[in-house]
Amino acid sequence: MEICLVIFLIGLVCSVIKVLWEFVVGHWHSVVVLLVLAIGAVVVIAMIPEIKKAQEAKKRRAELAKIEERRLLDAKEEELARIKEKQELLHRAEEKRQSELRKIREREDKIRTFAMNESPVLWQAYQELGGSIEIQTRKVADLKQDLIDFGRSPDDDQGFKRNVTILEEMNTTHETIRKKLEDAYLAYRAFEALPERGKEKAQGCIKEAEDVLANYRRLIQPGEENKNK
């Protein structure tokens, strides 16, 4: 029984193979087309993951490009904002500087007008002293450089020390006279309702400034005379 079944199956297989072979021989064009289509379908199916991967990579690159473009735009906007802020700070700083200069000029005009009315000689001496300070400052700097160029120590040179002392006396006197002039002007302004009292105090401050100037001249003149000999 089993042998018969095996023989039957073998015969069935052979019959199927024969039918298929006859079909292939009789319709080989169709078979070739079917095989090509089948191979093509297999190839396409096999390529689908790679195509999806390539599309995802392209999409990712596009997203990264947009992110980088946004980053560059943000960086540019931040830089422009920093430049604008810096310009605004510079503008405000310049406005503040100009405002301070105006205040200084206004104070100088007030002091000059007041001093010219109350003691023009003192104001002239104050102005001349300011010019002398500039000259003396250059002299001290030049002398210091000369001593250094000749290998000398300025701190050990008596002439240099004397010039520095003169410059310090000049600066101190100049600042003191200025302070006394300001005190005199403010006293005059504070007591405008009591002119006599205000004028008396103002004149007292001016007298103190004149005394400071006279004392300075007494201290400096001997040194200047020795310098000219």
pLDDT of residue 26: 60
Residue 150 backbone phi and psi in degrees, to 5? -95, 15
Among 20-24, 99-103, 170-174, which stretch is predicted with the lowest mean pLDDT? Answer: 20-24
pLDDT of residue 5: 67
Taking the C-alpha atoms of 119, 123, 128 and 130 in order, what is their torsion angle to the nearest 10 degrees?
150
pLDDT of residue 137: 94
Spatial contact of 187 and 201, defined as CB atoms under 8 Å apart: yes
* pLDDT beyond 90 at 8: no
* pLDDT beyond 80 at 25: no
pLDDT tens readout for residues 74-103: 899 899 999 999 999 999 999 998 999 898
Note if the pTM is more than 0.85: no
DSSP calls for 57-119: HHHHHHHHHHHHHHHHHHHHHHHHHHHHHHHHHHHHHHHHHHHHHHHHHHHHHHHHHHHHHH-
Residue 111: closest CA among 200, 169, 179: 179
* pLDDT beyond 80 at 129: yes
Helix axes 28-118, 120-149, angle to 10 degrees: 120
Chain mean pLDDT for the chain: 81
Among 71-85, 101-115, 133-147, 215-229, which stretch is predicted with the lowest mean pLDDT? Answer: 215-229
Buried b (16+ CB within 10 A) or exposed e, 120-158: eebbebbeebeeebeebeeebeebbeebeeeeeebeebe
pLDDT of residue 197: 62
pLDDT tens readout for residues 178-229: 998 998 888 888 776 665 566 677 778 888 888 888 887 777 665 444 443 3
pLDDT of residue 224: 47
Residue with tokens 């500087």: 97
Q: What angle do CA 149, 155, 156 make, to 5 degrees?
A: 90
* pLDDT beyond 90 at 19: no
Domain segments of the chain as ranges: 55-118, 119-228
